[in-house]
Amino acid sequence: MPADAPDVARVVVATPLPQLDRLLEYRVPAALVGRVGPGMRVRVPLRSGKRVLPAYVVEVVDEAEYAGDLAEIEELVSEAPVLTPEIAALAREVADRQAGTAADVLRLAIPERSVRVEQRWLEVRGEPVARDAETVIDIPEPPATYTPDDWAELTGGDDRRIALRVPTGVDTVHPPGRREPVGVPRALGLIADLATTYVAAGRDVIVAVPDFRDVELLGAALEVRLPADRIRRLDTRAKPAVRYRDFLACLGDEAGVVIGTRSVVYAPASRLACVIVWDDGDDSFEEPLAPYAHTREVALARQRREGTTLVLAAHAPSVETERLVEIGWLRPVAPTRFRPPKIVPSNAVIGDEAGARGARIPSAAWRLAREALDSGPVLVQVARAGYVPGLACDSCRTLARCRACGGPLRLARAGAAPTCAVCGTTNAGWRCPECGGERLRSIAVGAGRTAEELGRAFPGVRVVVADGETGLVSIGAAPALVVSTRGAEPVPAQGYRAVLLLDGERLLAREALDVGLEALRYWSSAAALLADRGSAVLVGAEEGPGRALVDWRQPAYAAAELADRRALEFPPAVRVGTVSGTAAEVDRALDAVRDLDGVRILGPVPDDDGSVRATIRFGYAAGAEVARRLKVEIVKAATSGRPAVAGRPRGRGSTLRVRLDPPHLF
């Protein structure tokens, strides 16, 4: 070991305690000097060695900033440099923006360790990789649907920010090693072409997609374009060892494409050229764990830090993307040679008969489905999963609720007793508390009941139910009726011959700010799976988002929605946050930001758990200072509890919680 080797390690401790959210310095023991390096996992003592916690080494330096004696690192857990400098800096930026801790971000960024996988990776690290000439990667031809300038903008270099509209339709690919061909949406095929172009040039690409279905389909598209070892999947559904293996592969010197769900945006990549987020409006990108940073916001932060190309691709852009387009941060790119899918509103194909207008599936939709089934599968999209997800008294229409907890009742299958959707209690012998009636009627029809009705209407036709529980990703080209909930549509090998979009009015009847945008996005994604000569029928909701769907003018609808939100000061025109805790804690936190320009405080109001909650609105320019001041209050609250004293109970811990940019607040 060199005599002048640095022996002071600065680490970030893997703890959610806000008072420890900073770099801590430790002395590297003599036996580990020269072995401990940036990115490695270690264990360090706290409070005079009474506790030992995991940590990541951020840097190793010659001299400490702290003037006193330093505690020593307890143990070197792993020599794999799993925390790169870029991800360490990104974690710090995301935590600061969200008033959270870097440790919480790293918990999302770095997967669980597999010792056996890691040992094998360390053994072969740095060994040359032998390749045959046939593994040379061909650069895809520019698609005819975009101009050469647009394609050059997408693939020509770094520091580009693009809102990309993608073509519709389905192409058939036959990945090596698979028996049957697979249908891949052309949107994902285009993303695969973009990624391949960068990888062929020796650069890395990260692609974030909403769920496991998209990971599987994008993987199939990439398998026919790239060698298998250039594709890394960071899918949370994968086994921990497999996920950790692909994570370590991202640390290598060979260019590749990293695909995955929400947290893939944190993947390490030494030559990162492009980050692509597919369908950023999908609520799967909303992080449910602290510090609650949306995948799109992390991608934007990473683009600013590393100067990469950023592509937000979608059929129906989110209102957040539209805002970035309007302020000039994103450049819109759309197909120039493009024929939108044929979508017919139900009111255009039915007469004035009241019965026809009230039907859940109009006769014209029945005819379209019957004709389309002669040549291939037909998709029926419904709003709700289950069999009968909503029940009411047949006499007075009072909602049927559980006798035990008051939750809504539902039917799991035909002939079953009603059960509670909340606690699962069976409510046999239910009686209406208002009129005493004993008969129930359905007020909502789910995918299971719809499939049962269609099976009777189309005898001899295979009926497939696809929802969040079935996990169906793709189907063949044979005729079938596919009844699917929103976002769970399997992709047929050659596209759907027809698509029926049901329950439009019910879908828009929910009380939520994003209801129109969500409906338009779900409808657009389903219609985009049509075969080239297929047609879709939208039942109900012909105006607003329905009209935007029929005209295929989703950006215009997002722009109108953004204008309305600016007038009402709703996100994303402004940023919002919630502050909850005891009344005293919330008051102190609100006092810390009350004097900032543009900050508006709503509340506080009592919350369901006995605490209080306040909502704050603030402009983007004030965001950094709002987050900093609220973080200070979080640390104060966490460290102000009464310390433990012999013979006296410890003071109650802080309940102050801050969440910035919470989804579905209004």
Q: Name the pLDDT band for 157 (thresholds 50, 70, 90).
A: confident
Domain boundaries 575-660, CATH class: alpha beta
- Give the integer Cα–Cα distance in Å for 559 and 326: 9
Q: Indicate whether 359 pLDDT > 80.
A: no
Instruction: Write out the binding residues for Zn(2+).
Output: 393, 396, 402, 405, 420, 423, 432, 435
State residue 121's pLDDT score.
Answer: 93
| 33 contact partners, CB below 8 Å, separation of at least 6 | 1, 5, 6, 7
Q: Which residue has the higher pLDDT, 591 or 396?
A: 591
State residue 654's pLDDT score.
Answer: 85
Q: Indicate whether 46 pLDDT > 50.
A: yes
CA dist 114 → 42, 80, 118, 239 (Å): 15, 11, 6, 10
pTM across the whole model:
0.91
- Give the integer Cα–Cα distance in Å for 367 and 282: 32
Helix then strand then coil, % of the chain, to nearest 5? 30, 25, 45
Asked whether 575 and 660 are in contact (CB, 8 A), the reply is yes
- Give the integer Cα–Cα distance in Å for 577 and 601: 10
pLDDT, tens digit (0-9, with 9 covering 90-100), for 472-494: 999 999 999 999 988 899 999 99
Q: Which residue has the higher pLDDT, 138 or 296?
A: 296
pLDDT, tens digit (0-9, with 9 covering 90-100), for 610-643: 789 999 999 999 999 999 999 999 999 988 865 5
Q: Which residue has the higher pLDDT, 444 or 585?
A: 585
- Give the integer Cα–Cα distance in Å for 360 and 204: 48
Q: Name the pLDDT band for 2 (thresholds 50, 70, 90).
A: low
Across the beta sheet with 231-234, what order do the strands follow?
Answer: 231-234, 257-260, 204-208, 272-278, 309-314, 161-165, 331-333
Asked whether 83 and 106 are in contact (CB, 8 A), the reply is yes
State residue 478's pLDDT score.
Answer: 92
Q: Which residues of 505-517 are buried (b: 16+ CB within 10 A; e: fewer)?
A: ebbbeeeebbbbb
| Average pLDDT of the segment spanning 228-257 | 92
**Percent of the chain beyond pLDDT 70?**
94
Beta strands 600-606; 657-660: pairing state: unpaired
Neighbour-count burial of 547, counting CB atoms closer than 10 A to its CB (0-12 exposed, 13-18 middle, 19+ buried): middle
State residue 504's pLDDT score.
Answer: 81
Q: State whether residue 303 is helix, strand or coil.
A: helix
| Average pLDDT of the segment spanning 588-608 | 92
The region that residue 647 occupies, defined by phi over 0 for left and psi between -120 and 50 for alpha, beta otherwise, is: left
Instruction: For 319-368, give the DSSP string.
Output: HHHHHHHHTTSSEEE--SS----EEEEGGGTS-S-HHHHH-SS-HHHHHH
Q: Which CATH superfamily is domain 137-333 in?
A: P-loop containing nucleotide triphosphate hydrolases (3.40.50.300)
Q: Indicate whether 349 pLDDT > 80.
A: no
Asked whether 585 and 656 are in contact (CB, 8 A), the reply is yes
Report for 25-39, 374-388, 415-429: range of highest mean pLDDT: 25-39
Instruction: Write out the binding residues.
Output: 393, 396, 402, 405, 420, 423, 432, 435
Q: Indicate whether 129 pLDDT > 80.
A: no
Beta strands 600-606; 612-618: pairing state: antiparallel
Q: Which CATH superfamily is domain 8-108 in?
A: PriA, 3(prime) DNA-binding domain (3.40.1440.60)
State residue 322's pLDDT score.
Answer: 97
Q: Both tokens of residue 483? A: 């009844």
- Give the integer Cα–Cα distance in Å for 218 and 195: 11
State residue 135's pLDDT score.
Answer: 64
The C-alpha angle with vertex 419 and arms to 415 and 423, in degrees rounded to 5, equals: 160
Q: State whether residue 271 is helix, strand or coil.
A: coil
Task: Give the sign of the dihedral formed by CA 174, CA 179, CA 185, CA 187.
Answer: negative
Position 293, amino acid: A
Residue 222 CB neighbour total at 10 angstroms: 30
Q: Indicate whether 649 pLDDT > 60.
A: no
| Half-sphere exposure of residue 663: CA atoms within 13 angstroms, side-chain side | 22
Position 487, amino acid: G
Choose the weakest-confidence range: 85-89, 190-194, 542-546, 650-654: 650-654
CA dist 186 → 148, 171, 294 (Å): 18, 6, 26
Q: Indicate whether 356 pLDDT > 50.
A: no
The 3-state secondary structure of 569-580, one letter per residue = CCCCCCEEEEEE
Q: Indicate whether 495 pLDDT > 90.
A: yes
Task: Give the sign of the dihedral formed by CA 359, CA 365, CA 366, CA 369.
Answer: negative
- Give the integer Cα–Cα distance in Å for 177 and 200: 23
State residue 352's pLDDT score.
Answer: 44
State residue 583's pLDDT score.
Answer: 92
Choose the weakest-confidence range: 130-139, 292-301, 336-345: 130-139
Closest CA to 277 of 216, 205, 203: 205
| 374 contact partners, CB below 8 Å, separation of at least 6 | 479
State residue 492's pLDDT score.
Answer: 95
State residue 353's pLDDT score.
Answer: 47
State residue 49's pLDDT score.
Answer: 57
pLDDT, tens digit (0-9, with 9 covering 90-100), for 175-214: 998 888 999 999 999 999 999 999 999 999 999 999 999 9
| Chain centroid offset of residue 371 CA | 37
Choose the weakest-confidence range: 41-45, 87-91, 436-440, 547-551: 436-440
Q: Both tokens of residue 272? A: 């990162």
Q: Name the pLDDT band for 355 (thresholds 50, 70, 90).
A: very low
State residue 601's pLDDT score.
Answer: 95
* Average pLDDT in the chain: 89
Closest CA to 604 of 588, 626, 624: 588
Q: What is the CA radius of gyration of the chain?
A: 28
Q: Both tokens of residue 407? A: 């939750």
Q: Which residue has the higher pLDDT, 64 or 102?
A: 102
pLDDT, tens digit (0-9, with 9 covering 90-100), for 68-118: 889 999 999 999 999 999 999 999 999 999 999 999 999 999 999 999 999
Domain ranges of the chain: 8-108, 137-333, 342-566, 575-660
